């Protein structure tokens, strides 16, 4: 990443403090106001983002194949996967809930993983920086809503303690799924969208 846009802070030897927003000479190493480390770009941004995203992809399989919730009642034991829960809501005509769970637990994680990989590619190719920066902002904003299924499990386990009548236990997928959400959030935090603009500047520079 040697090329910067001429009117960027980095090209002028200036770094934006990621903690307090002050613009300072990067040679200071630490922000004089809040003592955070100064970097032109997030350190090892693409490596970290890719490593975290691939870990999330690996954990996505147990998160979807194992049960997230185990219900034991008089009518027998029942184990639900995430998709199984969506289907159950759909069959009992609870369409809004089915759509909420499907969006938060199935669609957002998959789209977020694809978006992260795409962003890493964009940071190399530098095409469409404006659209890619917008994609980054959306990715950062929506990721947390995937946690809703984990909270549903936590609340159901807490509220249903009726002894022999019915009991609810968290399944192994709950932890995997929470990890997927946390890892993709960390990946989005590690990603530095300014790299897309650097790559775009490199593409525009004659024979860079």
Partner 1 sequence: MRPSGSSKHLACPDCDALFEAPVLKEGEQVLCPQCHALLFHYRRNSLHRASALTIAAGFLFLVANFFPFMTLRAGYRENQMVLSQSVSGLEAQGSPYLGAAVAIFTLVAPTLIIGGLIYLLLPLVASSRRLPGSIPLCRWVYRMRRWNMVEVFLLGALVSLLKLGKLATLTLGISFWAFVGLIICLTAALASIDYRELWARLENAQR
Given candidates 155, 203, 204, 205, which one binds partner 1 under the rule CB under 8 A? Answer: 155
Q: Which two tokens stand for residue 95?
A: 């369409």
Check: CB of residue 64 under 8 Å from CB of residue 76: no
Give me the count of residues in the chain: 208
Among 61, 166, 203, 205, binds partner 1 (CB under 8 A): 166
The DSSP bridge pattern shows strands 166-170 and 69-73 to be antiparallel
Q: Which of 39, 79, 156, 202 binds partner 1 (CB under 8 A)?
A: 156
* Closest C-alpha to 123, from 206, 37, 19, 50: 50
Task: Tell me if 111 sits within 8 A of 188, measured CB to CB.
Answer: no
Q: How far is the CB of 91 from partner 1 (least distance, A)?
A: 13
Task: Please identify, using beta-carbon distances, which residue of 99 and 207 lies nearer to partner 1.
Answer: 99
**Is 202 an interacting residue with respect to partner 1 (CB under 8 A)?**
no
Q: How far is CA 21 from CA 32, 151, 186, 195, in A?
A: 12, 33, 20, 18
Nearer to partner 1, 2 or 207 (CB): 2
- Picking from 103, 98, 100, the residue whose alpha carbon sits closest to that of residue 84 is 98
Check residue 81 for interaction with partner 1 (CB under 8 A): no
182 part of the interface to partner 1, by CB under 8 A: yes
9 binds partner 1 (CB under 8 A): yes
Q: For residues 58 and 155, which CB has a smaller minimum distance to partner 1 in the complex?
A: 155
Q: How far apart are the first and last CA of the chain?
A: 11
User: Helices in 10-128 by DSSP H: which ranges?
Assistant: 45-65, 82-91, 95-101, 108-125
Shortest Å, Cβ 23 to partner 1: 5
Work out whether 35 is an interface residue with partner 1 (CB under 8 A): yes
Contact residues toward partner 1 (CB under 8 A) are 4-5, 7-12, 14-16, 18-24, 33-36, 89, 92, 94, 97, 100-101, 104, 129-130, 133, 136-137, 140, 144-145, 147-163, 165-166, 169-170, 174-175, 178, 182, 185, 189, 193-194, 196-198
């Amino acid at each position: 990443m040697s090329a910067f846009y001429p009117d960027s802070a980095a090209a002028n030897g200036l770094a934006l403090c990621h903690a307090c927003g002050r613009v300072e000479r990067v040679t200071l190493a630490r922000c004089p106001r809040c003592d955070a480390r100064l970097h032109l770009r997030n350190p090892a941004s693409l490596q970290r983002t890719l490593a975290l995203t691939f870990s999330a992809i690996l954990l996505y399989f147990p998160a979807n194949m194992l049960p997230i919730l185990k219900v034991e009642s008089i009518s027998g034991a029942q184990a639900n996967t995430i998709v199984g829960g969506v289907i159950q809501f759909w069959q009992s005509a609870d369409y809004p809930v089915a759509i909420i769970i499907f969006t938060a637990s199935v669609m957002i994680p998959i789209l977020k993983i694809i978006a992260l990989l795409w962003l890493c590619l964009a940071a190399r190719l530098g095409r469409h920086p404006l659209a890619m920066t917008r994609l980054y902002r959306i990715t950062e904003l929506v990721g947390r809503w995937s946690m809703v299924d984990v909270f549903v499990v936590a609340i159901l386990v807490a509220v249903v303690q009726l002894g022999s009548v019915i009991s609810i236990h968290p399944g192994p997928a709950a932890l995997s799924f929470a990890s997927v959400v946390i890892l993709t959030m960390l990946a989005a935090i590690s990603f530095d969208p300014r790299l897309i603009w650097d790559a775009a500047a490199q593409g525009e520079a004659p024979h860079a």
